[in-house]
Amino acid sequence: MPVHPTIQESSQGLATRPEHSANSPLSIHAMTVAYHRKPVLWDVDYDAPPNKLIAIVGPNGAGKSTLIKSCLGLIPRASGQVEFWGLSYKQARSRVGYVPQRESVDWDFPVSALDVVCMGRYRMIGWCKPVSKKHKEAALSCLDQVGMREFANRQISQLSGGQQQRVFLARALAQEADLYFMDEPFAGVDAATERAIVQVLRKLKENNKTVIVVHHDLQTVPDYFDEVILLNMRVVAAGEVSDVFTSENLHKTYGGRLTLLAEAAEAVARASSGNT
């Protein structure tokens, strides 16, 4: 069995959708990314509709984090373009927020939860200026939104994994962006944090934001998200959950990993019953 299923028609969900790259918070065109000359992402095309919660799913090594990072210019692209509302990332930077994977930072670092959330406002504050009271208060209210205000002065190593994730989320809120990338915010969090994250996602959507989330739990995709990108090096399918989150597409994405497929089948069943 080949590791990556061969895909004839990529991104079938997009064919029916008209392109509005100036309206689309994120439009990726023919993007290829390689590590050590080995392609990790191949010819990715995607236009994100505005004001949606979008999941990126796919097996390990499918290039989910790479997709996010290359959009943000953290990993160089071998080819292709990425536009945000028709602008380059540099021009649109202040409107784009990012929540990296929790493990990507050192949680023993000597900063408090509030310090971390304030980092979300550094762009607004600008070079070489200290964090003013105004920005600290904004950061505090973001901590409040994720139920972490009372932990504002805690050193971050003294927070549980779920609380750390919520601090990261608060930091993203502090960025006051219009488009958010979140890299596995649900990984290894407790039930309370999962609820808090979902609440924040829905609130962001209410406020006309777009959120793109790398997600592992196929079961919750139909509950939490409007759109889904099925990724395995290429975009297998992308579009509304009810259209593209089918067992056929999942099969194409995950190959023969049966345990996952059983889970997915259940989720698909729920998704279709939810849409009738």
**Contact letters (x/-) for other proteins, 159-188, by CB under 8 A?**
------------x---x-------------
The span from the CA of 201 to the CA of 195, in Å, is 10
What are the DSSP E strand ranges found in the chain? 26-35, 38-48, 53-57, 79-83, 96-99, 179-183, 210-214, 227-232, 234-240
Candidate ranges 6-14, 23-31, 44-52, 118-126; the one touching other proteins (CB under 8 A): 118-126
DSSP assignment of 77-137? -SEEEEEBTTB-HHHHGGGEEEE--GGGS-TTSS-BHHHHHHHTTHHHH-TT----HHHHH
Half-sphere exposure of 133 (CA within 13 A, CB side): 0
122 forms part of the interface with other proteins (CB under 8 A): yes
Q: What is residue 56's three-state secondary structure?
A: strand
Q: How far is the CB of 263 from other proteins (least distance, A)?
A: 16
Closest Cα to residue 167, out of 202, 185, 143, 184? 143
Which CB, 113 or 238, lies closer to other proteins? 113
Q: Of these, 132, 157, 219, 275, which contacts other proteins (CB under 8 A)?
A: 157
Shortest distance in whole angstroms from residue 111 CB to other proteins: 6
104 is an interface residue for other proteins by CB under 8 A: yes
Rounded to whole angstroms, how far apart are CA atoms 234 and 64? 10
- When binding is defined by CB under 8 A, the residue of 78, 119, 187, 198 that contacts other proteins is 119
98 beta partners: 181
Stretch that binds other proteins, among 78-86, 105-113, 142-150, 265-273 (CB under 8 A): 105-113
Please say which residue, 74 or 269, places its beta carbon nearer to other proteins.
74
The least distance separating other proteins from the CB of residue 181, rounded to whole angstroms, comes to 9
Instruction: Give every strand in the sheet of 26-35, ordered side by side.
Output: 38-48, 26-35, 79-83
Size of the site for other proteins (CB under 8 A): 31
Residue window 124-153: x/- pattern of binding to other proteins, with contact defined by CB under 8 A:
-x-xxxxx----------------------
Q: Give residues in contact with other proteins (CB under 8 A).
A: 69, 72-74, 93, 96, 98, 100, 104-106, 109-112, 115-116, 119-120, 122-123, 125, 127-131, 155, 157, 171, 175
